[in-house]
């Protein structure tokens, strides 16, 4: 198909995809939450079977990182599907995101210092649901996320985040706003577990150098904000538990995130080429 023909057919394909998403999420909303989550897991497994190239690459990353301890690749696809449905049904899932008193106390103590709070986080567990749960409970946390290509899924994701009160700043132009908010004593969350193509330095992750964005270090140096690590892993099988931990430097953060991934390997996004060395 020529580039011109692809450009002409793209709006129709996007419209069809948007309609499919609305119908799918509308149907899922009619179901009990746990049944919808199981269907999401099944759909994730199906997508993994159909996306043979991505499945092969994911399996290779799991093997390189975890060896015999790697979970079945189908479990990782099922987790992705389940988490997507959980976020689609976020208004019915928020009471399953537990924020224990010690996490609240650590966050409030950091915010009380008045120097801003810079929260490192990872694509682990249901980070989207965690952000929504914090927003609805009065914890104003601004998030920096990578720009995504257009399309119905990303448009829906952006609109859904806004409905849930999650404020997302793009990198680059949004950096100025982030620095300003930190200097005003506010809280900002930034991902530290993906190669972005921007300013990075290699840090060992599962025994191999992985390009790690240095934005976290630069923001700390610019603003003097208090660094913390925040994440949400599954809790008793029906929800998530938020944890807030001290953070100090990208090397130690990366090592801690590796330890968390080892605890729940199917909950991380192995779709991402973290090491930027995947030949296909």
SS3 readout for 41-97? HHHHHHHHHHCHHHHHHHHHHHHHHHHHHCCCHHHHHHHHHHHHHHHHCHHHHHHHE
For 109-148, how does the pLDDT look when each residue is reduced to its tens digit (9 = 90+)?
A: 999 998 999 999 999 999 989 998 988 888 878 887 665 5
Is a pLDDT exceeding 80 seen at residue 21?
Answer: no
* Distance (Å, whole) CA 72 – CA 62: 9
Q: What is the pLDDT of residue 16?
A: 67
Pairing of strands 226-235, 239-246: antiparallel
Chain centroid offset of residue 194 CA? 10
Residue 5, pLDDT > 50, answer no
Decide: 97 and 234 in contact? Cβ < 8 Å. Answer: no
- According to CATH, the topology of domain 31-267 is Glycerol-3-phosphate (1)-acyltransferase (3.40.1130)
Of 21 and 187, more confident: 187
What confidence score (pLDDT) does residue 1 get? 47
pLDDT (0 to 100) of residue 243: 96
Spans of all domains in the chain: 31-267
pLDDT at residue 78, as a whole number: 97
To the nearest whole number, what is the mean pLDDT of the chain? 87
This prediction has a pTM of 0.87
Q: Which residues contact 278 (CB under 8 A, 6 or more apart)?
A: 57, 60, 61
């Amino acid at each position: 198909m020529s580039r011109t023909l692809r450009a002409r057919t793209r709006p129709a394909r996007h419209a069809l995809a948007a309609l499919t998403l609305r119908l799918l999420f509308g149907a899922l909303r009619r179901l009990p939450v746990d049944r919808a989550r199981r269907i999401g897991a099944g759909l994730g497994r199906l997508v993994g079977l159909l996306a043979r190239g991505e499945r092969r690459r994911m399996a290779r990353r799991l093997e390189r990182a975890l060896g015999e301890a790697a979970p079945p690749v189908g479990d990782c696809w099922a987790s992705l599907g389940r988490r997507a449905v959980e976020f689609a049904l976020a208004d019915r899932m928020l009471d399953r995101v537990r924020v224990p008193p010690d996490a609240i106390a650590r966050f409030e103590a950091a915010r009380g210092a008045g120097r801003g709070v810079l929260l490192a986080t990872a694509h682990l567990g249901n980070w989207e649901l965690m952000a929504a749960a914090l927003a609805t409970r009065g914890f104003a946390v601004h998030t920096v996320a990578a720009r995504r290509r257009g399309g119905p899924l990303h448009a829906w994701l952006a609109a859904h985040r806004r409905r849930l009160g999650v404020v997302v700043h793009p990198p680059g132009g949004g950096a100025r706003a982030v620095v300003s908010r930190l200097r005003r004593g506010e809280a900002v969350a930034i991902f530290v577990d993906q190669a972005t193509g921007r300013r990075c330095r290699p840090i060992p992750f599962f025994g191999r150098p992985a390009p790690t964005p240095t934005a976290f270090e630069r923001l700390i140096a610019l603003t003097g904000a208090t660094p913390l690590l925040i994440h949400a892993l599954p809790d008793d099988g029906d929800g998530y538990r938020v944890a807030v931990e001290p953070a100090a430097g990208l090397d130690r953060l990366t090592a801690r995130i590796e330890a968390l991934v080892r605890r729940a390997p199917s909950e991380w996004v192995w779709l991402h080429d973290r090491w930027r060395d995947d030949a296909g």
